[in-house]
Each structure stands twice: as structure tokens, then as C-alpha cells.
Amino acid sequence: MEMESIPQAARERIDSIASADLMVGVLTPHGGAAFRTVRQALADLPQVPRTVIIQADGFAEADPALGEPPVFVVPWTLIGPDVSIAPVENIAHAYQAVLAAGDKLGVRAACVLSSDFQTVTSQWISRLVQPVFQLGFDLVTPCYAHGRFEGLLNNSLISPLTRALYGARIQNPMGPDLGISRRLLQRMLVPEHGAKPATNSIHALASIAATAVCNGFKICQAHVGVRRYPPIDWTNLSSLLVQVLGPVFADLERNAACWQRRRESVSIPSFGERMVVSEDKGDVDVGRMLELFRLGARDLLEVWSLVLPPTTLLELSKLSRLPQEQFRVPDDLWARAVYDFALGYRLRMISRDHLLRAMTPLYLGWVASYALEMQNATLRAAEQRLERGCQAFETAKPYLVSRWRWPDRFNP
């Protein structure tokens, strides 16, 4: 990632600082809370590192360097104001720029924060940083406390897919709050053997966990706190799937030699006390989701038939005719369908954008099924239900490996 992607004023500020031990990139508005919260987090470290805070909104404190070692502030509009860029893509660009700044500063560790600063605490930050500085970990991913119906795209798809393929039980492989060592940061920017950088053409956030696993970096996760999730724009869900799944599926092809060698998943070290939400927020319009699933089963049959085997199409057709109270999407069916779409993305059977958008009714069907099953469940029961889904992805992995190696054996 070239420094030219960073605004001139921020580049000059980074050049004047020259070097640092820790960089904290704040990608969300914070109203001045970032500096205070980071300073509090640094107090938890045995030795306070020379720190640079790169923060959104161009906000800067009156004194840009305070304390000893100093904490420098680089104000920089990290996200926006280009409203034509989708939110996920905007965050991806910000991640790439922050990684480049960290490399320029030669930091030992980087902490990137994208959660709402109304919930981010000093402990949140220190738990992402401490394992890198004190224990030699290269990637610290977050464990968030949240309600039953929050974080479902990650819990139904991103996390179980990462776990099954790469063999690491990472709750939130795409963060978005992460602690990263210099070794991993440099690998993201300059891979070995002359390969293209993961951040060059692929969403940096989607590549970090896979890059860490496939290259033998030390990974852990930290319980950071209760995360406030932004409300989902259900009317724009198709675009969200394109932005999130496109880079994830692209990474599967880049890392095929790695994940095909992995067998059963293993747990990774976890730090901090597990937290529980005091109020289970979130709501799901099951009726509307089932309506969209049934429309998809009817109107997208031609597209689905390019990707899904006849047996899967038959199962989906039967599901579309069930009454709401009986509607359930089996875990093995969902896992195989996701794998089929990943293969379809690789083979470019149709426009990749069109293909990913065609997954929307399937995803809505899964969410509706999960909501119906969990409507009166406890948080613990919901966690157990999601764990069964993860196990289904692991069980179905040989199906993906077989289809990936011999795609012509199924020719619709």
C-alpha cells in the first residue's frame, strides 16, 4: 500500500513523528473520546509505548504530543466524505491506509478500532494490544457480547466458513476491531515469494485472519465488551453481501492450497472475562424475510440452477412451500449452499456481482429460520444453536474440497 493514498497533511505529520511503537487507528467518529480512552488503555501496559493515534473526522486535541513517552495525534478524515463509496468498501480503504501508515512509522503493533466509541473502553483497547506487546501474538481478534439477533452475517456465514476452511475457531475473523503485530502487518503489505499483497486487490479486512492462519502467525482472541451494532439496512442487504462476501470468496481461491490441507478446527487462546449483554436487543421481520425467500425461490431459479445441484434446488423448493411455523433451514443445506456459491464465484458462472446478490433470499431464509427457532430462547441456547451451525460447515467441508478439485463432475 503506497503512502500516496494518505492525505498530504497526514503524511507530513507522520513524517515529522518519524517512528513509534504503537499505532491506534480510529475509523469512526468519537467526539474527542479517542485520545482520552487510548491514554487510559496505555496505563494498563507495563511500559507505555511511544504511540500515534490516527483518528477520524480530522479531530485533533490542542496539544498533539502529551506525556512521556509522547502520544501523537494525526487528524485525518479516514472514512468519507465520498458518499458514493459503500460503507464496507470505505472501511476497507481506511484499513489499507492505516496499515500503510503503521508500516511507515515502523510500529511494533497496530490496533484498529471501528466500533462505536460510546461502547469502546480503555480495557477494550488494552486487551487488543497487550497480547501483541507482552505475549508475542500477531493477531488479536475480538469477542463481542451482543444480542441473539445481532451480528448474524458473521455468525451464520463468515465465522463458520473461516473455522471450517482454515481450522481456527475465531469468533470474529473480520473484527472489525483488531490488534496486529508488525510481522503480520508487513506480511499483509509485502508477502513472501513475490506474491501480490493481500491489501492490493482484496479487501484487507477479509484477508487478515486467513493470512495469519496460512502463514503460521500466532492468533488469539480477547473478550472486549458489549458491541453496539449499527442497524441493518434490509433494503440494501444485497449490496452488503457483495461487499462482504466478494473479498471472502476471492480469498478462498488465493488460499486454496492452505485450506484444503486443514482438517478439524482447533480452539485458539482467549483472554479476558466473557461478558453478557444486559438487554437482548434486535428484532427480525420473519414474515417479510420468508416472503423474499419465496420470491427468490421462484424468480431466481434460473440463476440458482447455475450454481446449486438439483438435490439442493429440490430441497429449497420444498422449503418455499412450508407454512411459517414449520419453516426451518437445515444446517447442512445452508452450509452446502454457501460452498456452492463460493465455487460459483470462483468459476465465474455469471457476473460475480449478480451471483452474490442472488444469495440474498437464501440468507434471509436462514435468518428467518434461526429467528423462528430462537424467538423464545436464552442467549446461551442461541450460542449453542450457532455452534451446531459451525459444526455443519466443518462436516460439509469435504463436499467443497471435492467440488473445488473436480467441478466438472457436477454440470447442471
pLDDT tens, position by position, 181-238: 999 999 988 755 445 444 444 467 889 999 999 999 999 999 999 998 877 777 789 9
- Residue ending a domain, choose from 271, 298, 313: 271
Contacts of 236 (CB under 8 A, 6+ apart): none
As for how many domains the chain has, the answer is 2
On whether the CB atoms of residues 26 and 34 are closer than 8 A, the answer is: yes
On whether the CB atoms of residues 379 and 276 are closer than 8 A, the answer is: yes
Same domain for 118 and 142: yes
**Cα 87 to chain center, whole Å?**
13
Same domain for 324 and 263: no
62: pLDDT confidence band, cut at 50, 70 and 90?
very low
On whether the CB atoms of residues 142 and 221 are closer than 8 A, the answer is: yes
pLDDT at 393: 98
| Residue at 120 is within a domain | yes
pLDDT at 283: 72
Average pLDDT over residues 284-310: 94
Same domain for 228 and 354: no
pLDDT above 50 for 63: no
Residue of 10 and 168 predicted with greater confidence: 168
pLDDT at 10: 82
| Residue at 278 is within a domain | no
pLDDT at 43: 85
83: pLDDT confidence band, cut at 50, 70 and 90?
very low
Same domain for 206 and 177: yes
pLDDT above 90 for 160: yes
3-state secondary structure of 7: coil
Average pLDDT over residues 149-159: 94
Same domain for 297 and 260: no
Same domain for 144 and 118: yes
pLDDT at 31: 67
Same domain for 256 and 175: yes
- Residue ending a domain, choose from 271, 300, 328: 271
pLDDT at 234: 74
Q: Give CA–CA dist 394/387, Å, rounded.
A: 11
On whether the CB atoms of residues 277 and 147 are closer than 8 A, the answer is: yes
Same domain for 191 and 321: no
Q: Give CA–CA dist 262/37, Å, rounded.
A: 40
Residue of 233 and 166 predicted with greater confidence: 166
| Residue at 191 is within a domain | yes
Average pLDDT over residues 76-83: 51
| Residue at 277 is within a domain | no
Per the prediction, the chain carries an average pLDDT of 87
Same domain for 291 and 251: no
- Closest Cα partner for 259 from 410, 409, 400, 388? 400
- Closest Cα partner for 371 from 286, 279, 280? 286
pLDDT at 82: 41
pLDDT at 67: 56
Adjacency order of strands within the sheet including 270-271: 65-66, 71-75, 51-55, 22-26, 109-113, 178-181, 139-145, 219-226, 270-271
Instruction: Name the packing angle between helices 182-189 and 204-214 (round to 10°).
Output: 110
In three-state form (DSSP H/G/I as H, E/B as E, the rest C), the secondary structure along 110-144 is EEEECCCCCCCCHHHHHHHHHHHHHHCCCEEEEEE
Average pLDDT over residues 163-189: 95
| Residue at 326 is within a domain | yes
pLDDT at 340: 96
pLDDT at 69: 62
Same domain for 239 and 337: no
Average pLDDT over residues 325-334: 97
The single residue listed with the C-alpha cell 478524515 is 77
291: pLDDT confidence band, cut at 50, 70 and 90?
very high
DSSP classification of residue 266: B
Same domain for 394 and 322: yes
State phi, psi for 61 to the nearest 5 degrees. Answer: -70, 165
For 386, the domain range is 286-409
Give the β-pairing of 109-113 and 71-75: unpaired
| Residue at 102 is within a domain | yes
Average pLDDT over residues 236-245: 91
Residue of 56 and 343 predicted with greater confidence: 343
pLDDT at 307: 94
pLDDT at 407: 81
pLDDT at 194: 47
Q: Give CA–CA dist 412/406, Å, rounded.
A: 14
CATH code assigned at 209 = 3.90.550.10
pLDDT above 60 for 388: yes
Average pLDDT over residues 237-248: 92
Same domain for 327 and 251: no
| Residue at 13 is within a domain | yes
| Residue at 279 is within a domain | no
- Residue ending a domain, choose from 223, 245, 271: 271
Residue of 276 and 345 predicted with greater confidence: 345
